[in-house]
Amino acid sequence: MTALTARTTHPTALNAQPPFDLLPEGVLDTLLAGPPALRAAIGPLLLDIHASDAETARLATRALAHARVERHHDGPDRQHVRVAFIDCARAGLPPPRGVPGTEHLLAPHDEVNLREGNRIVAIHQAESRTWEGFDPPRGIGVVYTADAGRIAPWEWASPAKRIIEWATLDRPYGLLHGAVLARGGEGFLLAGNSGVGKSTTTAAAMLRGIQTAGDDVSLLEWRSDGGVTAHAAYDSLKVGEASLALLGGRIAAAGEAVGPGIAKHMLRITDIAPETLVQSVDLKAILLPRLAGLARTAIRPAEHGAALRALGPVSSFVMRVAPEATFARASRLVRSLPCYALDLSVDPLEVADTIGDLLERPGSLP
């Protein structure tokens, strides 16, 4: 970043509130006036997904279909957010312009954040020429892209994630990064950075019939009784080649690779074990998995500080738009629940069985 700043010779202003002011007049209003491709209910959130064309609608809705509700479904107690996915290539629109002066400076996977203070207010992704932004007063989010086919595959595993984050910043609920496992609607949040074993453990748990609300992000809601509910945000599971091998081929690599050079497959939970995907889980504890190479998985109490280190920074990085708010949400969660370190064995199915036992007998937690 420092090198790029030094090479540029003069400032150029966008003179617009992207992406809204960059859209051709009437495009957004026309799109939103029609029925949504999907209406999804995720806990307190009612999400309408609108798309400019059938293929973009397919991409934008497949990880949200588990939460589908009828179009006439209304929830006066719910927050209503509308999201418009606009693919210029398919809609016959001119591609959106980027941030002036940055076009020749950006590598394909780079993003440009427009900030106000510590909050990001709009994001531009270089390779796909995609703008993403949210208008809080109107409750409208926009993903405005030159070509939806050039949006990174892993983005479709959690579509509109940042729009949901923008929409919920000042609410008593919001997204956090982690896997959720449960039995009978009560369960645990597995927290930690990439590579600690969350997704592999989730996949193994599904094979054992353990419920899940997802392996990546869920919508956490604080209830009036002081408890916390995790709502399943996305029907998706990202598993690497090594994890597929560990599971002994029990899960076929049917999903597409997440990205070039990134050895992960995106699968849908409902394609593997549809009965395991649950809409909501009453969280009872936070587990902090760690690859320990043990013969048997072990659990021990963990300090709240350790739980925040496992949950807060990575959630702030994954959600990105307001790291201070995300970090505060993570802190609130670790103060709300008991925390345990989970030292994993080398066998993910044994890990799943251990978690299953703890879910069956929560009194056995140390």
Partner 1 sequence: MSPQRFVIDTAAVAAEKFDDETVVLHFESGRYFSLGGAASWIWQAFEQPNDVATLATAAPGGALGPALADIERFVAELEALKLLLPVSGGAASAPLAPAPELWAAPSLEVFSDLSDLIALDPVHEVDAMMGWPRRPDPGIG
Cβ nearer to partner 1, comparing 100 with 209: 100
Q: Are 117 and 108 in contact (CB under 8 A)?
A: no
Q: Which of 299, 284, 306 is nearest to 344 (CA)?
A: 299
Query: What's the closest the beta carbon of residue 110 comes to partner 1, in angstroms?
Result: 5
Query: What are the tokens at 93?
Result: 């629109």
> Is the Cα torsion angle 240, 110, 95, 139 positive or negative in sign?
positive
Query: What's the closest the beta carbon of residue 14 comes to partner 1, in angstroms?
Result: 5
Tabulate helix, strand, coil % of the chain (nearest 5).
Answer: 30, 30, 35
Cβ nearer to partner 1, comparing 121 with 346: 121
DSSP-assigned states of every residue in 290-333: EEEEESS-EEEE--HHHHHHHHHHHHHHHH-S-HHHHHHHHHHH
Cβ nearer to partner 1, comparing 5 with 224: 5
Cβ nearer to partner 1, comparing 111 with 282: 111
Query: What's the closest the beta carbon of residue 311 comes to partner 1, in angstroms?
Result: 10
Q: Which residues have CB under 8 Å from 92's CB, separation 6+?
A: none
Query: What's the closest the beta carbon of residue 119 comes to partner 1, in angstroms?
Result: 7
| Amino acid identity for residue 270 in this structure | T
Query: What's the closest the beta carbon of residue 278 comes to partner 1, in angstroms?
Result: 30
Give the CA count within 13 Å in the CB-facing half-sphere of 221: 19
Cβ nearer to partner 1, comparing 80 with 309: 309
Q: Which residues have CB under 8 Å from 328's CB, separation 6+?
A: none
Query: What's the closest the beta carbon of residue 315 comes to partner 1, in angstroms?
Result: 10
Cβ nearer to partner 1, comparing 122 with 213: 122
Query: What's the closest the beta carbon of residue 227 comes to partner 1, in angstroms?
Result: 21
Query: By the criterion CB under 8 A, which residues form the site for partner 1?
Result: 1, 4-5, 8, 11-15, 99-102, 105-107, 109-119, 121-122, 193-194, 303-306, 308-309, 312-314, 316-317, 320, 323-324, 327-328, 331
Query: What are the tokens at 180?
Result: 């959720």
CA distances in angstroms from 6 to 3, 10, 13, 114, 217, listed in the order given: 5, 10, 17, 19, 37
Cβ nearer to partner 1, comparing 90 with 150: 150
